[in-house]
Chain A
């Protein structure tokens, strides 16, 4: 069974500064990886996903993530954050192929400070 660890429960960062949200996963098979964002009182929205191919994945709102198989990581980055990026971010993993269930991490709250 797969699992996901988001090491930071909260990350404060000043506006226009870069940010990295960390995600590590565990799985005995090939995986698909995802990052979702949840704004207050909203459902989750897909930011980006890695299924195969290039290990650097670009998503919406200027976010990107890099799949590192040797370190079993999929960290999310943005070079310059905005107030509107304040939200909770979830990393998720599933086994590749077929229609597998998706396991989510416990989330990282990004607080952008003006």
Chain B
């Protein structure tokens, strides 16, 4: 069974640009969550999607948005990038929700210059 796949693995963007990250969950998983991981802040919850609907949301500005498609694949978009957005972005999938058992992808490392 294939694991959670995140693309791309590495990305370098310039301040002010926008970026889209992709996450393909494990087959059959309907819940996809996104986290931002930085050395100082640890893992910060961005949002969770379940069956194409946003079910939970963290405390991030509106520049961070996401969506989920009918095949459960999810994308995360960050607009007007800032230097502070440099981080490892992790996606996790689960059958019903993150508080059951979650499987994480390897992440996308975003560097904003």
Chain B stretch 54-113: residues in CB contact (< 8 A) with chain A: 55-56, 58, 90, 92, 96-107
The answer for the CA separation of A101 and B57 in the assembled complex, in Å, is 8
CB-CB nearest in chain B for A97: B99
Q: How many residues of B contact A (CB 8 A)?
A: 27
Quick check: B31 and A44 within 8 Å, CB to CB? no
Quick check: A106 and B41 within 8 Å, CB to CB? yes
Quick check: B42 and A43 within 8 Å, CB to CB? no
Quick check: B97 and A100 within 8 Å, CB to CB? yes
CB-CB nearest in chain A for B42: A106
Residues of A within 8 A of B31 (CB): 99
A32 within 8 Å of B by Cβ? yes
Quick check: A101 and B104 within 8 Å, CB to CB? no
Quick check: B43 and A100 within 8 Å, CB to CB? no
Residues of A within 8 A of B58 (CB): 101
Q: Could you say which of B45, B56, B102, B106 contacts A46, with CB atoms under 8 Å apart? A: B102
Given contacts A43-B4, A90-B43, A107-B42, contact A99 B99 (CB under 8 A): yes
Quick check: B99 and A104 within 8 Å, CB to CB? no
Quick check: B42 and A90 within 8 Å, CB to CB? yes
Chain A residues within CB distance 8 Å of chain B: 32, 36, 41-46, 49, 90, 94-96, 98-107
Chain B residues within CB distance 8 Å of chain A: 4, 31, 33, 35, 41-43, 45, 48, 50, 55-56, 58, 90, 92, 96-107
